[in-house]
Structure 1
């Protein structure tokens, strides 16, 4: 059963850095997240535990509209949580990553058909069937749009991986990836990155590396104000951050 989503005042609560990885047609392999390899393509987003899959979809597709096929109706975006395996954190050797399902979103169009969309293109003089306006497409999302990060016990420092599945040739929605019956454990990778490695996951706040100056792989340094709060944190809890806020969240692409 999903954990209840806590109430967060986004105007006064400091957001955290989330890395949203993306790929067309399939998910990234877990070993690709090793800090010893080049980071897969991703966005860097400042957000809160109440962030939903709908929000992540908006951020991803408005920043990278080329990820959407044309026509976009029937596109499935599947999401997974990727996090370090800390149960064996004290064993020698490199660390492993785990993954579990978050849910999926389908780009819908109500009762519109492909013929309707082609006719609309023709009326508007788009003989080549131009890509639908992303803003209009994003107003028609179906599936797990309202599922939040907090509801799946997200911990700051976890990653989110998104796979974009275009509709099938006949316009049908591609089937969702087979669900993971349990958190999937990837092969050993490099260390968990950062200085000093990774603490127990149950403490909940530490990320990959030092939060008080978080350097994302493939992106600019995240200058945390005040560092990591002291104290013990249970799995999935959101600790009190520094008193000042960052205002509204935003997405950042690689090299932006």
Structure 2
């Protein structure tokens, strides 16, 4: 009975953690922001303060890659049975999508193709504990010019520590 009780306590703690994460997100800051009014220069909008990477401990970002499309929310439904194609990256909340693209290219042959396009999505539990896959941006493996999403940081995109990053490679 001791093992079963520990298992039940662990499951209850997981539910509490998921409920806390969902509560943090209910403040509205997790939702997609509307586009800025016409005539507003994007570069004039407030940017995330850079992190002092010498003094700040990095976070563990669990990245799941897939060729041809994103994983589905059902692929994440069972804790401990996440998709197999995982890469663990230690980074900071000021890491941008270009930086993450370059890290994915180090481990994925498909991402190194000259014409490869990478689509990024955050995966996190909603208030009911069901996973949501929310697309947040895309980059080109070898852009011939700066792409609009290249400079978006995890913080700009409202990343919460504990979220997964799902990367579709096209």
State the TM-score, normalized to the length of structure 2.
0.66
Deviation at 1:67, TM superposition (A): 1.9
Q: 2:158 matched to 1:153? A: yes
Query: What is residue 20 of structure 2 aligned with on the other side?
Result: none
Structure 2 residue runs without a partner (length 5+): 1-32, 34-44
Q: List structure 1 segments (4+ residues) > 4 angstroms apart after TM superposition.
A: none
SS of equivalent to 2:104: helix
Structure with bigger helix share is: 2
SS of equivalent to 2:156: helix
Q: Please provide the CA RMSD for this pair.
A: 2.2
Query: What is residue 58 of structure 1 aligned with on the other side?
Result: 102
Larger radius of gyration: 1
Distance in 2, Cα, partners of 1:75 & 1:141? 15
Distance in 1, Cα, partners of 2:71 & 2:137? 16
Deviation at 1:98, TM superposition (A): 1.4
State the TM-score, normalized to the length of structure 1.
0.45
Query: What is residue 98 of structure 1 aligned with on the other side?
Result: 132
Distance in 2, Cα, partners of 1:76 & 1:58? 12
Query: What is residue 19 of structure 1 aligned with on the other side?
Result: 62
Q: 2:88 matched to 1:47? A: no
- Asked whether the 8 Å contact 1:22–1:163 carries over to 2, the reply is yes
SS of equivalent to 1:17: strand
Cα distance, 1:36–1:152 mapped onto 2, change above 3 Å: closer
Give deviations 1:192-211, integer Å, cap 9, x for gaps: xxxxxxxxxxxxxxxxxxxx
Structure 1 residue runs without a partner (length 5+): 89-94, 111-139, 166-256
2:121 is matched with which residue: 68, 75, 80? 80
- Asked whether the 8 Å contact 2:123–2:133 carries over to 1, the reply is yes
Alignment of 1:1-256 (within 5 A): 1=33, 4-36=47-79, 38-40=81-83, 41-64=85-108, 66-68=109-111, 72-86=113-127, 88=128, 95-108=129-142, 110=144, 142-165=147-170
